[in-house]
Amino acid sequence: MNILILGIGQSLRRDDAAGLEVVRLWQARHPDSASQVQVELSELPDLALLDLLEGMDAAILVDMVQSSASAGTVIRLGPDELTSFTPDARSAHGWGVTETLRLGRSLVPSLAKCRVTLIGITGKDFSVGVGLSHEVRTALEAAAELVEREFQGCLK
């Protein structure tokens, strides 16, 4: 099975780097699992996401989200839930993951076979700079363990 684990975020926008940090932590804590998949880190995947998904059976995307939930909240959106990913819970990158997926599936129908799950952490501080807020930093471990559970679920 071809599986992609993708950390998304801007390393110079504080909490927006959480997706990158979660995937790095997951790789360090679960090297055996990480060796079985394609692991990517992307500052701004935009439409390049479609190229990364091509030929994949499953993808676990990890990204910062803006939501009405409190900072540091870890959320999981499965394939069906991604269609209801609304503006009050969206990617911090403008043209977001769900918009890209919708476009890609309409342009490249074979992408529909890729089971996509999004693991998001609600952010607090998106200002320019380096370093995560306390709330987001404390959520990294839970998010990394959720990545592992999702990965193991893909194998069943």
- For the chain, helix (H) and strand (E) counts, in that order, are 6, 6
Q: Measure Cα distances from 131 to 94, 116, 127 in Å.
A: 21, 28, 10
pLDDT digits (tens, 9 = 90+) for 22-45: 999 999 999 999 999 999 999 877
In the chain, what are the domains?
Answer: 3-155 (3.40.50.1450)
The pLDDT of residue 92: 45
The pLDDT of residue 96: 65
- pLDDT: which is higher, 117 or 83: 117
Whether the per-residue pLDDT at 69 is higher than 80: the answer is: yes
Report, as an integer, the average pLDDT of 62-83. Answer: 86
H helix or E strand, kind and range, residue 79: helix 79-82
User: What is the C-alpha to C-alpha distance for residues 95 and 72, in angstroms, rounded to an integer?
Assistant: 22
